[in-house]
Structure 1
Amino acid sequence: MMPLFRPRSLIITLLGVAAICASTLSAAPAKPAFTNYTWRNVPITGGGFVSGIVFNSTQPGLIYARTDVGGAYRWLPDKSRWLPLNDDLGTEDTELLGIVSLATDPLEPQRVYLAAGQYLADWGKNSAILSSTDYGATWQRTPLPFKLGGNADGRSTGERLQIDPHKNNRLLLGTNQDGLWLSEDFALTWKKITRFPVASITLTLFDHLSGSAGNPTPVIYVGVNDLKGPALFRSTDTGKTWNPVPGQPSGLIPHHAAIATDGILYLTYGDYLGPNDVTRGAVWKYSPSDNRWTDISPAQPGMLDRDTFGYAGLALDAKNPGNLLVSTLNRWTLGDEIFRSTDSGATWKPILSSAPQGTSTAPYVAKLKPHWIGDLDLDPFDSARAYFVTGYGIFGTDNATATDSGGITRWSFAATVGIEETVPLALISPPEGAPLVSAIGDFGGFRHDNLNAVTPRGTHAPMYGTNLSIEFAENAPAKIVRTHSGPTRASLSLDGALTWIDFPSAPPTALKNGPGKIAISTDGKTLLWLPKKSAPFFSTDDGTTWTASIGAFVSAADYRNDTPVADRVDPSKFYLYDQTTGTAYYSHDGARSFKKSATRIPAAGTTPKSVPGHAGHIWIPTESGIYRSTDGGVTYSKMENILSASALGFGKPAAGQRHPAIYLAGKIPPYHAIFRSDDGGLTWLVLNTARTRFGFINVITGDSRTHGRVYLGTGGRGLLVGEPAR
C-alpha cells in the first residue's frame, strides 16, 4: 500500500488560541455555551501506519504504540484494546500527533515520553517532547528548537528516544536532521551533544548491561543515516566522546538494534530509511568482548528476480538470549516475511507467509498483504507473545514459539482493536440506507450500517486506494458517486453504496492529472466533476459522456482540493469555489455555464456546503470565517462572530426548527472548538472539551435522521461520532 494520504491542508494553522479555554479576546455577543457530548470512534480498526511498539521492561502488560499521524496509544490488558493518549491535541497542534519515538521508563513505569512532530519541510511546525507521569493520562510539553519527522522517511526506525536504564532523569534523543540531544532533568530541558559527528540519526541504545544503578550508563550506541561513512557509533564514557564501532558493515543504515542478555548486539540494516525504497539489507550480530561481527541474514535480497528488500523489525527474547525475530521491509515481490531463530541467528524459519492471519476484527484487511513491517516486538514477560506493525495496523500472536516444535504461528489483527488511524476525506449521511458513508485516504471508504461495529462487507468494492470525494442525490439518496485513484477515476452506486460500477468514461484531465472531486444534482440527473488542474465537466447520462462547462476556473494542481457543490433543492444550481484565488462561481443552468460571484471570498478556504431544504443557500468556510449566500451564489455576506472555520456540515433540524442543525470546527470567540447551532447560526453550543479535540478536523457532517448526532473525519484519528450526553 502507499503511504496514507496526507494533504498539506491538514496542517493549515487556524487563527485562534491553542486550547479550548477563554482568551484575552473581547467576547462578542452570543458567547457560545457548553453542552455535554459523548464521543467515540465509528470503528474501522487500524487504517494507518503504526510505526512502533514499545514494551515496558519491568511492568507486565504495559505496552505503547506510536503512529505517524494519529498519536500514541496504551494497551488496556483488561479490555484487550488500545487507548488513544493524545486526543487533547487540537488543530493548532495537529503535527504533534506524529510520534517519531516513544520511551517508557523501566525505573518508574508511570513515566512515558513522546518525541512528537510530523514534518521536516519548511512549512512544518516545530516539535516537542510530551512527558507524562501518569501513563499518558496527562502531558507536559517541552518545545524543541528543531523539527521531527513522525511522518517522514525513517519513521519506523529506532527507538530514537531512550531513557537511561540506570539513571532515569537522563534521556537521549536522536533527531532526523539535527544531531544528538541530551536531557538530565526528565526531559524538561535539552542540550545538543556537539561532539557527535552526524546529524541524521536512526536509533539510540543504552547498554543496560554496563554501569550500575544510580549512575549514568557508560556504554551507548547510536545508529545514523549514512551510507558512505560509518553508520554505528559508540560511547564508553556516558556520551562524552564517540567513535565508530570497528569492523562494522558498510553501505547500510541501521534500522533497529537490541542487546541480548548475553551481551550480544543485534542489528537490522537497509539501504534506505524506509518504509519504501529499500532494496537491500542484512542482519548482523556483534560481540563487544572480542569485536567480532557476523552476518546472520536469513535471506539475501536479489536471489530471485526483483526480490529486493531490507531488514527492519528486530525482537529479542528476554528469557532466552539465543531466540530472536527479524522482519523484512519493502519486499513486494514475495511479500514481507518474519523469520525466527533459536540459535542466535545460525538458522532461521519463516513464520508469517504461510501462517493463518485472523482478520475478523477488520474484514477489509483480508484483502491486504502485510507490508511496512518496520517494527517487531516480543513481550519481555511472555516469550510466546509477539507483535508486528504494518501500514494499516498491528498483528499479534500468543504462540510465536510454535514453530520451535513444528507447529504454525497464528497471527491476529485483533491486536489493533482500539487503534483508529484512517484519514476520512469526505462523509455523507443520506436520509435513507446507512446512516454514514465515507471516502477514506488509502482505504477506499466504508458504508456503516452500524455505528458501533466494523462493517462486515469491508471497503467500497473496488476499493481503488485513496477516495477523494463522495456525494448523494438529495431527492434520490440511493444514488451515490465517488472519485478515487482507480482506472476511470470515479464510480456510481444505485443502491446506497452497497455495490459500485465504474463510470463508462472520464474527462481526459481526470485520467491525466488526478480525480479531483464530484457533485450530483438533487434529482440525480446531472453530475459535475472538477478533476485536478482542470476546468469542470458535467454529464447528464451517468458518466457516459462529459462536456466542459463554460466560464469556470481551472482547479489547483497541488494539495488543494477545490470542490464542486450541488444545490440541495434546485437541480439546476451548482457552485464552485477556487481556493487559490478566493473566487466563487455559480451555475443556474445545470452546470453548463458558470459565472463569477459578485463577492470576493478569502482564499485558502475549505469545502463549501449547500443547505438542505433551502434553495440557493451555500456556505463557504474559510480561515477568516464563514461566507454565506442566499441567492444562489450571486452574492455572499460574512457571518458575524465566526473567526475561522476549517470544516462545516449540516444535520437534522432541532424540534420546531426549519433550518438544519449546523456543525462547525473552528473559532468562535473565545473558543476554538467543535460547535452546533440550531437557529441558523444566531447562537452556538460548544460540543467538546479540552480532552476531546482530536487534532485536525478534516470534514464534519451532521446525521440527516438524528438531531444532535455529528460525524468527524480527522487527520489521523479516524471517524468519530458525537452525540448529546444522556
Structure 2
Amino acid sequence: MAALLNLSASAQQTVQGYNWKSVQIRGGGFVDGIIYHPTKKGLLYCRTDMGGAYKWNNATKTWEPLLDWVSYKDNNLMGVESIALDPNDTNRLYMACGTYTSSHGPNAILVSDNQGKTFKQVDVPFRMGGNENGRGNGERMAVDPNNGNIIYMGTRLDGLWKSDDRGSSWHNVSGISSSMVSPDTSTKYWSRPNGIIFVLFDTENKVNNKNTVIYIGISQKGKANLYKSTDGGTKWLPVPSQPTALMPTHAVLSADGMLYLTYGNSPGPSAMTDGAVYQFNTKSGQWKNISPIKPDPENGKGFGYAAVTIDAQHPQTIMVSTFHRYGKAGGDDIFRSTDAGNTWKPIFTGDVKGKYDDSAAPYVAHTGIHWLFDLEIDPTNTNHAIFTTGYGLHETYDLTNVDMGKPTTWTVKNIGIEETVALELLSPPQGAQLISAIGDYGGFVHNNLDEPAPEGNFINPHFSNTTGVSCGAQNSSIIVRVGEGSIQVGGGNIAYSLDGGKQWQPTQSAPFTGSRSGSISVSADGHSWIWTPQNNIPYITGDKGNTWQLVSGLPVNTRIVADQVNPAKFYAMALFDGELFTSIDSGKTFQQQNLNLAGGLPERTRNRGDVRGGQDRIYAVPGKEGQLWIATFDGLYRNAAKINKFQKIAHVSEIHAFGFGKAAPQSEYPALYLAGTIDGTDGIFRSDDEGKNWVKINDDQHSWGLILQITGDPKKYGRVYVGTHGRGIFYGDMIQSN
C-alpha cells in the first residue's frame, strides 16, 4: 500500500513502490581504476570517471553499484577520483569523490566500515576531478599499511592531504604544496594541473606503528615528479637522478624493493606521443629504462605507457600497457615480463595473439581496445588479471599461458556496470521496447531489456554519439536517428530504419557538408523528417533524405516536435524569447505566435540544469492533436483552449526530465513522468490525472545523481525508462500490492 507523505493536501503526493532494473548494455564508459584488497580473495572494487563506483560480488559474479543513493544536488560525487582500502581491515573502504574541480557541488571522502553498504560523507576543502584529464592515473589515496588511522590523499590543485583519524578529518601536509605542481599545457582538454597522482608506502620501513618511507608522484615533466619522505611525511625531497622528460602515469612498489613507473608526455586520456617504463631500485638508488618498445614520435610512431602491475606472489613478474598506439603495429598492447623487465612478451600483437570474447557485451566487437589505463594481476591468483578500457573491463584466467607461448582469452567483465549517458530515449508505440540515443557508443535497440542487444550498437552507420532519435507516432516502423559518425566506421551522421530498428541505412544526402548531431523530428505518419543539425537552422526532407530544403521561420538550434496525431503539424519554441512556432504544412513553414506562460517567462540563467537534459523543452501529447506541455527547469505548463496560452501546473518547482507513458486503466490521458522537485521533494514522479496529483516512484537508494531523460512506455502502463548521466538506463515497473 502506498504511504502518504506529509505534503500539502491539494497535491496528494504519495509514494509507490517500484522495481528498478538496468537496461542491459554493460559497461559503456571509462572504468579508470581497479582496486584489489591485497589479502582478501575476491574482494575488489572499481571506479569510474562519472558513473560512481562498484564492488565485485564474487557469489553472483556481478558488480554492485555503491553510489546510486547520490542525489541530484550532490551529483558531483558520481565522479570517483580514487579508492583506498585498509590492508589490515577488509571492511574499511574510502572513496574520494568529485567529478569536476570547477564544480560548486560537494567534494567528499566517503568512509565505509562495511565494504560500501553505508557511508559517512566527509566534505573536504580540496578539489577533485574524477572526469578530468589524468583520471586514469593513480591511486591518489592510500592507507598506511602499518596504521589504519593514517590516510594520505594527493590532489590536483591543493597539494597533499592527510587524515589521522580514518578519514573523519583532514589537514594539509606542509611539506608538499600546490606550487610544486605545474599545469599540463600540452592539451586544451582539461589543461589544469593534474597534481599528485599516487601515494605509495614502503612497508619495510616503520617506526612507532607507522610507515616512515612514502613516495608520491606528480603529473608533470621538466622538473622533479617523484618525491620521497623518510620521516613519515614531515619532510619531502625529490628522488635523485630521476627522469624528468616525461610525467608519471602509474607506479607500483614490489616486495623486493623495486619501484616500477610508467610515463607519458601527457596525463591521458588525452593523446600521448611519447612514453617509457622505468625501474627504480629503492635500495641502491639506481634507475633503469626497461621500456618493452620505444616510441618513435618523430616518425609518427609515438605513444605512451599507462599502467603497470606486479604479481604479488612473484615480485619479478610485471606487466605494463601502452597508450595511444592506435593504428601503430597492431594498436595498444600489454607487455609481460617475468624477469623484472629485462625481457618482455606482448599479449595481443606478437606471434601468439590473445583472444577476445565479447559475448557478454556484443557491442564491444564494434569498438577496439582503448584507454587501457589500469591493469591488475589478482594478488591471490597468478593466472587472473583484469584491465580497463573506455567501455569497461576485460579479464583472463589463463594469464600464464603467455609465459608458455600460448594465447590467452580475455572476456568482458562488465555485468552490473552500466555507465552510459542517455541523450534521448524512445519507446515506440509498437515494436521494440526501447531505442536509446547515448553518448560515445551510439545507441541500441532493445527488444529484451534484460539482455544486451545481440547485434550490438547502431551500425550502418555507426555513431559515436547519437543526439536524437524519433519515430512516426502513427507509423512507428519508421525511425530516424542523428548524431556524429564514428571515425572508425564511416557512413554519415543520419540514418533511418523502415522496420522498427531491425535494419538501418544512411540517407543519400545531408542538408549540407558537415551536418551532424542536433535533433530530429518525424511526422506522425513518418513521411516528413525535420533535422536541426548542431549550431544550424532546421532542414526538412520528404523523400527519406534524398533531398533537403531549408525550413523557413525558425531560429538556429530550434528543437522541433511533431504532433502525435496530425502529420501536417509540428511545433517549436524559443522559450526565453517568448515565441511559439507552429507548422500546418508538414513542416515546410512555421508561423510565430507569442508564447504566453502563466506567471511570465522564465529568466535566462546559467543554472538551468544540464543542457542535454529534458528541461526547457516542448512536448506533444500522444494521441491528442494540438495538445502541448512545456517542461521548463523551474515549472511545468500545458496549453489551454488557445494553443499559445499555457497554464502552470501547481506544486512542480524544478524539472530535469519529462515524458509520457501509457494511460492508467479507466483513463484516456497519457501518464506523465517527471524527474525533479514537487512540493519540495526531489525524485521521480508519475501522474495519472494530468498533473493534479503525483506519485513518487523512486526511493533514496535509487537517485543516480544527474538524470537527463525520462519517458514512459506507451505499451505498458506504469513502466518508465530513466536515462542517467553515467549510470546507464533504468526501467521501472510498479510493485503490485497483494
Asked if these proteins are the same fold (TM beyond 0.5), I'd say yes
2:471 counterpart of 1:484: no
More displaced 10-residue stretch of structure 1: 224-233 or 481-490: 481-490
Name the CA distance, whole Å, in 2 between partners of 1:579 and 1:138. 42
**1:652 corresponds to 2:662:** yes
Structure 2 counterpart of 1:491, one-letter code: A
One-letter amino acid of the structure 1 residue matched with residue 236 of structure 2: W
Partner of 2:206: 211
What's the offset of the Cα at 1:613? 1.1
Q: Does the C-alpha gap of structure 1 residues 108 and 537 become closer, same or farther in structure 2, counting only changes over 3 Å?
A: same
Percent of counterpart pairs with the same letter? 40
Structure 1 residues 493 and 513 mapped into 2: Cα distance closer, same or farther (>3 Å)?
A: closer
- Distance in 2, matches of 1:606 and 1:187, equals 41
Kindly tell me: are residues 304 and 298 of structure 1, through their superposed partners in 2, closer, same or farther at Cα, counting changes over 3 Å? Answer: farther
The Cα shift of 1:125 comes to: 2.9
Partner in structure 1 of residue 453 of structure 2:
455
Matches within 5 A, 1:180-219: 180-197=160-177, 198-199=180-181, 200-211=195-206, 215-219=209-213
2:520 maps to 1:518 = yes
Looking at structure 1, the residues matched to 656 and 297 of structure 2 have their Cα atoms a distance apart, in angstroms, of: 51
* 1:379 alignment counterpart: 378
1:167 and 2:147 aligned: yes
Structure 1: 4+ residue segments shifted above 4 A: 20-23, 579-583, 630-633
Comparing 330-339 with 604-613, greater Cα deviation is found at 604-613
Q: Distance in 1 between matches of 2:579 and 2:728?
A: 31
SS at match of 1:364: helix
Alignment partner of 1:566 is 2:544: no
Amino acid at match of 2:595: A
Whether 1:642 and 2:656 are equivalent positions in the alignment is no
Give yes or no for contact 2:30–2:48 (8 Å, CA) kept in 1: yes
Once the two structures are superposed, residues 363-397 of structure 1 have per-residue CA deviations (whole angstroms, 9 ceiling, x without a partner) of 11012211101100011111111000000010001
**1:18-417 matches, cutoff 5 A:** 27=8, 29-121=10-102, 123=103, 125-197=105-177, 198-199=180-181, 200-211=195-206, 215-302=209-296, 305-334=299-328, 335-353=331-349, 354-413=353-412, 415-417=413-415
RMSD over aligned Cα, in angstroms? 1.9
Taking structure 1 as the reference length, the TM-score comes to 0.93
Partner of 1:549: 551
The superposition leaves residues 78-121 of structure 1 with CA deviations (integer Å, 9 ceiling, x where unpaired) of 11110011000121122211011111211211111111111123
Residue pair 2:596, 2:646 contacting (<8 A) in 1 also: yes
Note closer, same or farther for the CA distance 1:661–1:107 as it changes in structure 2 (3 Å cut): same
Whole-angstrom distance in 2 between the partners of 1:292 and 1:45: 44
Deviations 1:25-76 (A, max 9, x none): x746224101110101010011000000000012111100000111000001
- Unaligned segments of structure 2, at least 5 residues: 182-194, 486-490, 609-614
Aligned positions of 1:501-540 closer than 5 A: 501-508=505-512, 511-512=513-514, 514-540=516-542
SS of equivalent to 2:383: strand
Displacement after TM superposition at 1:581 (Å): 4.7
What are the superposed Cα offsets for residues 631-661 of structure 1, whole Å, 9 maximum, x if unpaired?
5742222211111111011111111001011
Q: Distance in 1 between matches of 2:355 and 2:319?
A: 18
Secondary structure of the structure 1 residue equivalent to 2:645: coil
Match of 1:702 in 2: 712
Residue 305 of structure 1, CA deviation: 4.4
Tell me which amino acid in the other structure corresponds to 1:345.
G
Shift of 1:579: 5.9
Residues 555-585 of structure 1: CA distance to partner in whole angstroms, max 9, x if unpaired?
2xxxxxx532111112222122336656443
Q: Is the 8 A contact 1:445 1:463 kept in 2?
A: no
- CA shift at 1:306, angstroms? 2.0
CA contact (8 A) 1:616 1:630 kept: no
Question: Distance in 2 between the 1:673 and 1:598 partners?
Answer: 29
In structure 1, stretches of 5+ residues that fail to align are 1-19, 556-561
Distance across 1 between alignment mates of 2:492 and 2:575 = 25
**Cα distance in 2 between the residues matched to 1:217 and 1:581:** 63
* Larger RCO (CA within 8 A; separation ≥ 6): 1
Of 478-487 and 124-133, deviating more is 124-133
CA distance in 1 between counterparts of 2:434 and 2:642 reads: 28
Q: Is the 8 A contact 2:579 2:592 kept in 1?
A: no
CA distance in 1, matches of 2:146, 2:577: 58
SS in 2 for 1:202: strand
Q: Secondary structure at the match of 1:322?
A: strand
2:595 counterpart of 1:598 = yes
Change (3 A) 1:312 1:473: same
Instruction: Describe the SS at the equivalent of 1:95.
Output: helix
Question: By how many angstroms is 1:266 displaced?
Answer: 0.8
Q: Is the 8 A contact 2:4 2:15 kept in 1?
A: no
Contact 1:269–1:312 (Cα < 8 Å) also in 2: yes
1:304 positional shift: 9.3
Residue 677 (1) aligns with residue 687 (2): yes
Query: With structure 2 as the length reference, what TM-score do the two structures score?
Result: 0.91
Give the Cα separation in 2 of the matches to 1:383 and 1:351.
16
Structure 2 distance, partners of 1:324, 1:22, is 57
Find the aligned partners of 2:509 and 2:514 in 1 and give their Cα distance: 13
| Count of aligned pairs | 694
Q: 1-side partners of 2:263 and 2:724: how far apart?
A: 34
- What amino acid does structure 1 have at the position aligned with 2:441? F
Is the Cα contact below 8 Å between 1:618 and 1:628 reproduced in 2? yes
Deviation of the 1:307 alpha carbon? 2.0
Contact 2:279 2:287 in 1 (8 A): yes
1:615/1:632 contact within 8 Å kept: no
Deviation of residue 21 (structure 1)? 12
Take 1:624 and 1:37, find their aligned partners in 2: how far apart are those partners?
A: 26
Separation in structure 2 between the aligned mates of residue 685 and residue 45 of structure 1, nearest angstrom: 30
- Tell which deviates more after alignment, 47-56 or 663-672: 663-672
Q: Contact 2:74/2:106 (CA < 8 Å) preserved in 1? A: no
SS in 2 for 1:485: strand
Distance 1:412 1:587, change over 3 A: same
Question: How far apart in 2 are the matches of 1:385 and 1:409?
Answer: 11
Contact in 1 for aligned 2:578/2:594 (Cα 8 Å): no
CA distance in structure 1 between the partners assigned to 2:44 and 2:204 by the alignment: 22
| Cα displacement (A) at 1:489 | 2.2
Supply the distance in 2 between the matched residues of 1:304 and 1:55 (Cα, whole angstroms). Answer: 38
Q: Distance in 2 between matches of 1:584 and 1:118?
A: 37
Query: What letter corresponds to residue 207 of structure 1 in structure 2?
Result: D
Q: Deviations over 1:242-278 (max 9, x none)?
A: 0000011111111111111111111111111001211
